[in-house]
Chains A and B, each alone.
Chain A
Amino acid sequence: MDNTNVETVPKLKRVLQKFQKIFRSDANIHEKRIQRRLKLVNLITRRLKAIKIILFVVGYLWMVLIPFPHLGRGTYIDENALQPGQVNTQWNWGDVHVADRYLEQLEHVRDANYTSEQRATWLREEFGKLGLSASTQSYGFSTSTSNSTGTNAYAIIASPRHSGAEAIVISASWLSRIDEGKGTINIRGVSTILALAGFLKRYSYWGKDIILVISDDYLEGMQAWLGEYHGVSQSGKSVRSTQEPKADLTTGLNAEPLKLASGVIWTALNIDYPGHSFSHLGVFFEGLNGRLPNQDLINSVERIARWSARVPVILYDHLDPREDAPANVVFSWMPKTLYEIADVKSYLYQARNVIRNVGYQYNGRGSGVHGLFHQFRIDAITLFAVPATGPHGFHAIGSLIESTLRTMNNLLERLHASFFFYILTGPQRFLKIGLFLPSAILISVAMMFHGLSTWVDAAWVQEDTDNEVSEKAASTTNKSTKWRQRPRPVIKVLCIMAVTHIFGLVLFTVISRPLFISNYQVLSPITFVVFSGIPLVIRLIPQPAPPTGAAPASSVLKALNLCFASTVISIITVLNFSLAASLTIPLGVPLVASSTSSSILLRLLKYTVYALLGLGWLIFAQDEMVKSIWYWESLRVWFAPFICIVYVPLLLQAGISCIL
């Protein structure tokens, strides 16, 4: 023992001395440090191209891998107070019979073609017969895209023994979500609510008021009801006196004030049960402007459905091909041998869920009536009874809602424990924010690197030496090249950028005019031509020649454009990941690829490509455009103004940098 110690001590000392020599050589340590830093910077700058490519590839690949079955983890309940599925449910076949009776009456209401006011009055009377405080609210919506009127009916089960400062909402819109409220009546959803009203009132354990809302139409009714409940005008910005029957001029919502009031709404369940019976319960959860409900709500419903109500839960209406054979049809385009691999099958199924999620989230529209609740910090989801020939019906959905309400009733605080940022890849699997956010960030970092390098490059020009050797020398050694610094026209470029954004604002004002909306099929292509043509026309006007020796405006514009686009993407990732991820496709590689060229034809071609990327929706997605404008005007979904004021100008800037 002693011997070994004696031997190792000098050895250790020697190693230490060696290290000291490396790190603290006799030379000036400051010089060493600066040199080390320079070396590192050199290393990065020299390999910048490779780093950018790697960042891009990893970023895009990561996005593609989000649905990978081994990424992510199983869902779990985070809030201990919830205790889902721990109660015996009392909903029985007698209550199902009551629901069936209501259904018969509702079918009569439907067939007798009641007006929405008559229908709401009928519903109010039915609630009144159960001994509940009930009322109706009529409203009118007029936006530049459409006009609609209707009447909502609602009732409040006042919580016994409690102050009623908190409330839970169970709602059903009159129109089902099928085809986005084009006409299928959510008739069984409404009868479920009516039957639940009588049922829930029988129990004294409710710690929160239960508000039952049967909203008219698809989204409009609930928006009018929620807006009045929270006493805000449509924009959600200013508090407005509700006693005023005057129409809100900006959005054209004219809603009657609510006669009954309750407390702060914490959670809401929206029931959508249009068919005769159902095989699965689909959960829809995306809210307006990309907001998601607390994951505990979805997880509790899923647990309760699985263990208490015995109904399979799915995301949206996507059946799981691993469990239901008919779902395989969707993926019939896949070669059979490849498809049979378990991971491939899971990947395809999860990819379908993720794509649907992105589709609902990126444009901020949400996936249904529940999305409206999210504006007011209410966690809400829609339970969609996927129409099928069986085997579930009122019994399953009733006991599921009862048990879920009991779970929500347990809450002492708002739902806050679980996740607000997640991607559900399946009903029981999800990705935390750390597992998907970096994908978009990596791409934006690559764009930022490219922008900064373009910016630095613009400041330097290679001195024109008299012979051609210089070029050769530049590629071989750094020593013989002569670089000269030159000014960069920042003000001019910033002006160009500002003008394009103002241009976007003008575009948005134009397309949201009622005159434009009513003739959009004719006017959209004209708008496209005008708005993509104006930059070209301005280019034709002779401009004062740039000072000699200055950097070309096009490269400075490209640099600033890339830096700005990268910043926009990074910020959007935390607001609405789906939107940010979608933006990386038209903004990521295309903006990096922009460049001028000597041939005018090629320049024009490039400009056209950018104009099509930026403004192409005026020609190819007109219906979507009209819808987005409706969502902005009536629900304040900022997708439409964002596209016009941020996205279009970014691509126009890239286009302009090609023709400058």
Chain B
Amino acid sequence: MNVSKCDTKHLRCDCLTFIAQHYTFFPLALGQILRQYAVTEMHLALNAGNWNYDRWGYPEEQGVGTGAELWAWMGDGAAITVDERWKGLRNALAGLFCASLGSLDELRTTSPAQTFIPEGTLPDWGVSHTVRHASLPSEHVCTENLTPFLKLLPCKSLSGIASLLNPHRLFDADWHGMGVHVLWREGEGVEMRLTFQSVSDPLRYDSAKKQDWSLQSLFDRTIHRSCPVAQSSEIVVALPKNALYSIKPEPPLIERSSAHFDVNTPLEYRSESTQFSVKRTLRGPSQAHGQLSVVIVNHRPYAIHTLYLETMPWLLQFYVHTLEARVDGVLQAGIISNLTYIPSVPHSRPTTFQALLNLPPHSTVQITMDVTKAFLRYTEHPPDAQRGWDLPPAIFTPVELATNDSSFSVKEGRHYTSTLLVDLATPDFSMPYNVIIFTCSVIAYIFGTIFNLLTRRFVVVRLDQTKT
């Protein structure tokens, strides 16, 4: 399959600080929300589809987990607590982007500070900063999310690269996702990054079934002019390494096997295959127990260290004592270290499970852990009860170990696994009348007999022997 990647918009805001309140380019709607809830750094990603790392490599933007993902760093010590501000932020963003971010509630919120380190800098105000993270795998992305997204851009979708954002084509792509990232850099100010990524299959649109593609064929649109306020506007095309190709118009600049077209100055582009691939499955056909299995294949000739993070709703509870790691099928110690485990609280808090994995060179590591599936109250079932529950993806973050092996620093390149669907024991909601009638009969019967026994007077009856 010929895959083309398009990174559409990279916009840096020149406004210096919030205090200056320059809303010439910076969208007012978003700025107000960030000010209101005193958010230092925020990342929102809405994605549809499952990013196939093995075929497509690393994405340009690392947040590609299926569904909605929101994480934010906030300074503590204000009059309103972090959790209240987090709630406000969720709801405000839900309103702004027309997405069900309000559902990212306490059942799904965790604070995995080691995996989600701030991309910018945290201002030194003498208060501690904490992270809040939540993801909702069943959230779907559609046009109603794209429209408010486009409104944040200075030229909307009228000109520049953003004019390629044709919803008919984007939402038909094999994978698509949008992201809003706001961070603060010391000495520079607030930086906002709006991204839209998609993976399309050019063969699907081409009746001749040739692997050729053009902007017109992929997006059904072309770029007529650049956005006047943009300082740089650039298209990067990765060129095939071991195959013949032709590209028109001839690119003005080719570097590191990618062609650069300046639509109006350079953006670094890297395309490297993933260091490892991950397959996460939930095994066992039972509705009460199962086994979480994660198979990680290290493609590199050297050992890789990675942080493995599960933020699991309480629906699935881990038996951490059954945690085992096998290397190429052989049980091996020393693979898992630095375990952080915050157990779930039924009906409220999710599990946070984090471990540092040491993946030996060119090996397959399988991590298994027994899990138990929750038994829900009947009011907790969603309307589509027989579907099962979507579980958020696990996140792998490559880390660099310090020389003394005691500390580590997080590197770029978060890796999301696919989401899971878990079957919990579900009552048959499709026959409520039968159930109601049956239950009522049983209760009436029990009540009737007990009431009868309580109120009855026992007497000795002498039967006339001749009658019987």
Residues of A within 8 A of B (CB): 28, 30-31, 34-35, 38, 131, 133, 158-166, 202-204, 230-232, 236, 239, 241-245, 260-261, 263-264, 375-377, 412-414, 416-417
Other contacts beyond A230-B285, A243-B295: 12, CB < 8 A: A160-B49, A163-B49, A165-B419, A204-B172, A232-B284, A239-B289, A241-B368, A245-B329, A260-B279, A376-B285, A413-B385, A414-B388
Contact with A along B240-283 (1 / 0, CB 8 A): 00000000000000000000000000000000000000010101
Question: Nearest chain A CB to B335's CB is how many angstroms away?
Answer: 13
Q: Are A161 and B175 interface neighbours, CB within 8 A?
A: yes
Contact of B285 among A38, A166, A236 (CB under 8 A): A236
Known: A28-B461, A35-B468. A231 touches B283 (CB 8 A): yes
Per the bound structure, the CA–CA distance linking A131 and B293 in Å amounts to 27
Query: Is B284 within 8 A of A164, CB to CB?
Result: no
Q: Is the CB of A239 within 8 A of B468?
A: no
Determine whether B31 belongs to the interface, using a CB cutoff of 8 Å to chain A.
no
> Does residue B459 face the partner (Cβ distance < 8 Å to A)?
yes
Contact, CB under 8 Å: A133 / B386: no
Query: Can you list 23 A-B contacts with CB-CB less than 8 angstroms, sorted by A residue number?
Result: A30-B459, A31-B461, A31-B463, A35-B463, A160-B49, A160-B172, A160-B175, A160-B201, A161-B48, A161-B171, A161-B172, A161-B174, A163-B49, A163-B390, A165-B419, A203-B204, A232-B285, A236-B285, A242-B366, A243-B329, A263-B418, A414-B388, A416-B430
- Tell me the B40-64 residues at the A interface (CB within 8 Å): 48-50, 52, 54-55
Whether the pair B366, A261 counts as a contact (CB closer than 8 A) is: no
With both beta carbons as reference points, the residue of chain B lying nearest to A244 in the complex is identified as B329
Q: How many A-B residue pairs have CB under 8 A?
A: 125
Checking B366, B385, B464 against A243 with a beta-carbon cut-off of 8 angstroms, the contacting residue is B366
Complex CA gap A417/B295 in Å reads: 36
Least Cβ–Cβ distance between A640 and chain B, in angstroms: 22
Q: Is B237's beta carbon under 8 Å from chain A? A: no
Complex Cα gap A131–B201 (Å): 11
Bound-state Cα–Cα, A28 to B324, Å: 76
Provided the pairs A161-B49, A166-B421, A412-B384 are in contact, do residues A239 and B283 lie with their beta carbons within 8 angstroms? yes
A161 touches B173 (CB 8 A): yes
Size of interface on B: residues with Cβ below 8 Å to A: 57
CB-defined contacts of B289 to chain A, threshold 8 Å: 239
**Binary A-proximity of B409-432 (CB < 8 A = 1, otherwise 0):** 000000000111101000010100
Query: Is the CB–CB distance between A239 and B387 below 8 Å?
Result: no
Q: A35-B467, A414-B387, A416-B428 are in contact. Are A164 and B204 (CB under 8 A)?
A: no
Q: Are A165 and B430 touching (Cβ within 8 A)?
A: no
Knowing A239-B291, A242-B293, A264-B388, say if A165 contacts B285 (CB, 8 Å).
no
7 closest A-B pairs by beta carbon, nearest first, are A231-B283, A413-B386, A165-B421, A160-B174, A163-B66, A131-B1, A239-B291
Which residues does chain A contribute within 8 Å of B364, judged by CB atoms? 243
Q: Contact partner of A163 among B55, B137, B324, CB < 8 A? A: B137
Say yes or no for B67: interface residue by CB 8 A criterion.
yes
Task: Give the docked Cα–Cα distance between A6 and B289 (Å).
Answer: 75
Contact assessment for A163 and B419 in the assembled complex, using a CB-CB cutoff below 8 Å:
yes
- Tell me the complex Cα distance, A165–B428, Å: 22
- Tell me the B424-468 residues at the A interface (CB within 8 Å): 428, 430, 459, 461-464, 467-468
Q: Which of A31, A230, A244, A412 contacts B284 (CB 8 A)?
A: A230
A219 to B57, CA, bound (A): 38
Residues of the B chain whose Cβ atoms lie less than 8 Å from the Cβ of A264: 388, 421, 423
At the interface, yes or no: B370 with Cβ under 8 Å from chain A?
Answer: yes
Given A35-B463, A416-B430: A160 in contact with B173 (beta carbons within 8 A) = yes
Contact partners of A204 in chain B: CB under 8 A: 172-174, 204
| Any A CB within 8 A of the CB of B290 | yes
B463 to chain A minimum Cβ distance, whole angstroms, is 6
- B284 adjacent to A133 (CB under 8 Å): no
In the bound complex, what is the Cα–Cα distance between A160 and B328 (angstroms)?
Answer: 32
Residues of chain B within 8 A (CB-CB) of A203 are 204
Question: Is A164 within 8 A of B418, CB to CB?
Answer: yes
Q: Tell me which of B176, B201, B384 contacts A413 (CB under 8 A).
A: B384
- The answer to whether the Cβ of B9 comes within 8 Å of any Cβ in the partner chain is no
The closest CB in chain B to the CB of A246 belongs to: B329
- Bound-complex Cα distance A609 to B49 (A): 66
Residues of A within 8 A of B173 (CB): 160-161, 204
B362 at the interface (CB under 8 A from A): no
Query: A133 to chain B: which residues have CB within 8 Å?
Result: 52, 54-55
Using a CB-CB cutoff of 8 Å, which residues 131-188 of chain B contact chain A? 137, 171-176
A230 to B421, CA, bound (A): 13
Residues of B within 8 A of A166 (CB): 421
Q: With a CB–CB cut-off of 8 A, which chain B residues contact A245?
A: 329
Question: When chains A and B are docked, how far (Å) is the Cα of A162 from the Cα of B54?
Answer: 17
Q: Which of B285, B428, B461 contacts A34 (CB 8 A)?
A: B461
Known contacts: A28-B461, A131-B1, A158-B50. The answer to whether A163 contacts B281 by CB under 8 A is no
A34→B460 CA distance, assembly (Å): 11
Q: Is B129 an interface residue (CB 8 A)?
A: no
A195 to chain B, nearest CB (A): 15
